């Protein structure tokens, strides 16, 4: 197991890609901290990990609030669980809105969860990783950050910011032994797509060279690789499992 005994914090791990990542890291031997705003789904993910013989702690966290993130890491300090791996996955899945119809509240909601949340968690994690001279941060961005998404300007801006943030922080901390990388998934088959009409789903799939949606488990496999020593010479990169949608 590639992450045996390491402590991994996964934000937004109550469902979808985040839950798949938490389960995969636990399967690789990590002790997983599920940081999820929805206490019920967060505990459900942690319970599933424990049922499969792993170790997991669920800590309710609102990544858009710096004080909530500070509380999360203070709790880890109390548990004597300094993070070896941080996966910034939490996101805002509200429907797309054209720019000219977007309110300040809509714009802020996307950026606060995605971009601010990634910053808050990264800051707290680095305060614990840098003195120990090791650690890996995996930021979940999106293929939308690479090619744009009509109707998703706020989402694209936030995810693009995460990709750039990843590169800057990677250069800051590389000499200290900490790696920072990003994963930019394409269209993934999660409950978020349930509201998309079947005809639109067919159109989306038709544009993907591999001819299908990705699975959360496929994204989780990439994250597990990047978090492991197998990816020890990778930092600052944005890896995009997207079925050929963007090359």
Backbone angles phi, psi at 95, to 5 degrees: -60, 155
Is 155 one of the catalytic residues? yes
CA 180 – CA 170 distance, rounded (Å): 5
Q: Cβ of 54: how many Cβ atoms within 10 Å?
A: 19
Q: How far apart are CA 178 and CA 185, in angstroms?
A: 23
Lowest-pLDDT range of 71-75, 139-143, 167-171, 200-204: 200-204
Does the structure show a pLDDT above 90 at 96?
Answer: no
Nearest C-alpha neighbor of 240 from the set 153, 161, 151, 147: 147
pLDDT number for residue 215: 98
Q: Which of 128, 96, 113 is nearest to 18 (CA)?
A: 113
Q: Which residue's structure tokens are 């993130």?
A: 69
CB distance 52 to 24 below 8 Å = no
Token pair 């390491």 in the structure block, residue: 6
Whether 223 shows a pLDDT value over 90: the answer reads yes
pTM: 0.97
Helix (H) or strand (E) holding 85: strand 85-88
Catalytic, out of 120, 155, 233, 246: 155
User: Please, are residues 132 and 80 in contact by the beta-carbon 8 Å criterion?
Assistant: no
Q: What is the pLDDT of residue 115?
A: 98
Please state the domain extents for the chain: 7-237
Q: Which residue has the tokens 């990634």?
A: 118
Pick the CATH number of 7-237 from 3.60.20.10, 3.40.50.720, 3.90.870.30, 3.10.20.90: 3.40.50.720
Q: Name residues whose C-beta falls within 8 Å of residue 125's C-beta, 6 or more positions apart in sequence.
A: 9, 73, 83, 86, 135, 137
Note the Cα 105 to chain centre separation in Å.
23
Q: What is the pLDDT of residue 113?
A: 97
The per-residue pLDDT for range 35-94, each reduced to its tens digit, is: 999 999 999 999 999 999 999 999 999 999 999 999 999 999 999 999 999 999 999 878
Instruction: Report pLDDT digits (tens) over 99-137.
Output: 999 999 999 999 999 999 999 999 999 999 999 999 999
Mean residue pLDDT of the chain comes to: 96
């Amino acid at each position: 197991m590639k992450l045996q005994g390491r402590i991994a914090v996964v934000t937004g791990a109550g469902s979808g890609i985040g839950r798949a990542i938490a389960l995969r890291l636990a399967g690789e031997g990590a002790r997983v901290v599920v940081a999820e705003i929805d206490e019920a789904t967060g505990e459900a993910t942690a319970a599933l990990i424990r049922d499969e013989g792993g170790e997991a702690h669920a800590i309710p966290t609102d990544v858009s609030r710096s004080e909530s993130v500070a509380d999360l890491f203070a709790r880890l300090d109390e548990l004597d669980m300094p993070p070896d791996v941080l996966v910034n996955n939490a996101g805002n899945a509200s429907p797309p809105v054209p720019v000219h119809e977007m309110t300040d509240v809509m714009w802020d909601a996307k950026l606060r969860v995605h971009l601010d949340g990634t910053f808050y968690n990264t800051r707290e994690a680095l305060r614990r990783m840098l003195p120990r001279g090791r650690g890996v941060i995996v930021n979940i961005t999106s293929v939308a950050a690479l090619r744009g998404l009509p109707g998703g300007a706020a989402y694209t801006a936030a995810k693009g910011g995460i990709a750039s943030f990843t590169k800057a922080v990677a250069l800051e901390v590389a000499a200290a032994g900490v790696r920072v990388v990003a994963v930019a998934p394409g269209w993934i088959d999660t409950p978020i797509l349930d509201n998309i009409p079947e005809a639109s789903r067919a159109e989306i799939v038709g544009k993907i060279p591999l001819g299908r949606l990705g699975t959360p488990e496929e994204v989780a496999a990439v994250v597990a690789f990047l978090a492991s020593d197998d990816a020890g010479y990778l930092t600052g990169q944005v890896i995009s499992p997207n079925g050929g949608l963007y090359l």
